[in-house]
Amino acid sequence: MLDKPNTMSSFWMPFTANRDFLREPRMIQSAEGMYYTSSDGRQIMDGTAGLWCVNAGHRDPLIVEAVQKQVHELDYAPNFQFAHPQAFELSGKLTAMMPEGMNHAFFTNSGSESVDTALKIALHYHRMRGDSARTRLIGRERGYHGTGFGGISVGGIVKNRMHFGTLLTGVDHLRHTHDLDRNAFSRGCPAHGAELADDLERIVALHDASTIAAVIVEPMAGSTGVLLPPKGYLQRLREICDRHGILLIFDEVITAFGRLGAATAAEYFGVKPDIITTAKGLTNGVIPMGAVIVSDDIYNSAMENAGAPIELFHGYTYSANPVSCAAALAALESYEQNDLFRRAALLSQPWEDQLHSLKGLPNVIDIRNLGLVGAIELAPREGAPGARAYEAMKRAWDAGIMIRVTGDIIALSPPLIISEPEITKLVQTLGEVLAELP
């Protein structure tokens, strides 16, 4: 076998400007707590919890110990017709955190898989009830639901869809909720836009409710640039779904596990969906894992109406992998022991105040916040959308903070262990970057 040259270009990086990165790599060597260490030995404050997932901070000792122990004891076990105890222990602890009447978890390996699983379960539910005409799936413009074909079909981010053909058929989209003219610089959920939920009535009128299986939305749209639900919007959407017999799916891959100061966005907003998708914070980002939580009605319908011994022909080789389960159990324990959800709730006000202190800086056209999530929207450069925020991301790295950008929006979502002085440091450093940004 011939040796191949060991070049950095052998790794095709996801969602990355690969050619630009290879010219100026930003390499991470290690991490602990709130900080990464770069390959040149600098401390980089993690302003994004990795990719929205490291809620308990890096190298949490409970999780590290649990994973090491589990690898020594049981590295892998199949969960097709066999099982291991940790899967049942985790499902019990996880569903106990969910809204009342949502007591069943189906395990996946990522947010993308959780979304595809949720869509399939929704279709399966209607089929089991003898309502097989309900096959349409409704997403939302600017929604992000992972990168599987199901997720990009119900998703509404153009670049994620445009290169991959016709996608799933029978999919439609609600209008998004972003309204800069009426809601710029809102603190928390904006006042205007609850009526945008009525767009579902337009879709019902077009297709008829009897053909629609489910609506999937992010309670707070994260990856598209932190778009917050207007006050009353989610409640209105729930009411319309109930009126027409449509399942409501909350994609909580980002919002679950404390990001808004509660176990779920469903709890935070007081709106109970039929299905919740999770991933990211489930294992604190340590090992890939996701979970789909379903209502008792959905689960019982499958158990009671399936004709074959197998109730749902769906699953993954690594569903409820023992090591992933160990990481998730330890993550949930860490969240509880350190009272991180309550901590996030208490920090949300100083977080809001610090973020909005950036108002008035050059090119800042909006600031948004909810829980420990924030966004700073920048005016795009003429003829070069996204270039200004991309440059901000690179300058921020040089200044010692990691931020995330999508288009010309800077998104922030630090680990829930962040302190008030660290919030100040993060925002002030970002402010210095923005003040000098052309």
Classify 221 as helix, strand or coil: strand
Contact 320, 87 (CB under 8 A): yes
% pLDDT > 70, the chain: 99
pLDDT tens sequence across 13-33 = 999 999 999 999 999 999 999
Last residue of a domain, one of 318, 337, 356: 337
Contact 180, 145 (CB under 8 A): no
Q: Are residues 213 and 69 in the same domain?
A: yes
3-state helix, strand, coil in the chain (%, to 5): 40, 15, 40
Mean pLDDT of 279-305: 97
What phi, psi does 413 have (nearest 5°)? -160, 75
pLDDT tens sequence across 167-192 = 999 999 999 999 999 999 999 999 99
| Neighbour count for residue 179 (Cβ, 10 Å) | 15
pLDDT tens sequence across 30-75 = 999 999 999 999 999 999 999 999 999 999 999 999 999 999 999 9
Q: Please report the pLDDT score of residue 228 as a whole number.
A: 97
Q: Are residues 132 and 165 in the same domain?
A: yes
Residue 3 is assigned to a structural domain of this protein: no
* Residue span of the structural domain in which 190 resides: 64-337
Q: Are residues 46 and 162 in the same domain?
A: no
Contact 418, 48 (CB under 8 A): no
Q: Are residues 16 and 147 in the same domain?
A: no
What angle do the packed helices 111-128 and 296-305 form, to 10 degrees? 60
pLDDT tens sequence across 252-288 = 999 999 999 999 999 999 999 999 999 999 999 999 9
Residue 1 is assigned to a structural domain of this protein: no
pLDDT tens sequence across 69-107 = 999 999 999 999 999 999 999 999 999 999 999 999 999
Is the pLDDT reported for residue 1 higher than 50?
no
Q: Please report the pLDDT score of residue 7 as a whole number.
A: 75
Last residue of a domain, one of 284, 311, 337: 337
Q: What is the pTM of this model?
A: 0.96
Q: Please report the pLDDT score of residue 8 as a whole number.
A: 84
Q: Which amino acid is at 346?
A: L
Q: Are residues 140 and 280 in the same domain?
A: yes
Residue 2 is assigned to a structural domain of this protein: no
Q: Are residues 210 and 275 in the same domain?
A: yes
Q: Are residues 357 and 420 in the same domain?
A: yes
Mean pLDDT of 389-395: 98
Q: Are residues 318 and 347 in the same domain?
A: no
Q: Please count the structural domains in the chain.
A: 2
CATH number for the domain that contains residue 290: 3.40.640.10
Q: Are residues 49 and 72 in the same domain?
A: no
Residue 381 is assigned to a structural domain of this protein: yes
Rounded CA separation 191/21 (Å) = 40
Q: Are residues 41 and 150 in the same domain?
A: no
Rounded CA separation 280/364 (Å) = 29
Per-residue pLDDT band for 2 (boundaries 50, 70, 90) equals: very low
CATH number for the domain that contains residue 383: 3.90.1150.10
Is the pLDDT reported for residue 3 higher than 60?
no
Residue 49 is assigned to a structural domain of this protein: yes
Last residue of a domain, one of 337, 371, 403: 337
Q: Are residues 213 and 300 in the same domain?
A: yes
Q: Are residues 279 and 303 in the same domain?
A: yes
Q: Please report the pLDDT score of residue 4 as a whole number.
A: 52
Mean pLDDT of 366-383: 98
Per-residue pLDDT band for 197 (boundaries 50, 70, 90) equals: very high
Q: Which residues contact 114 (CB under 8 A, 6 or more apart)?
A: 108, 146, 251, 253, 277, 278, 279, 290, 291, 292
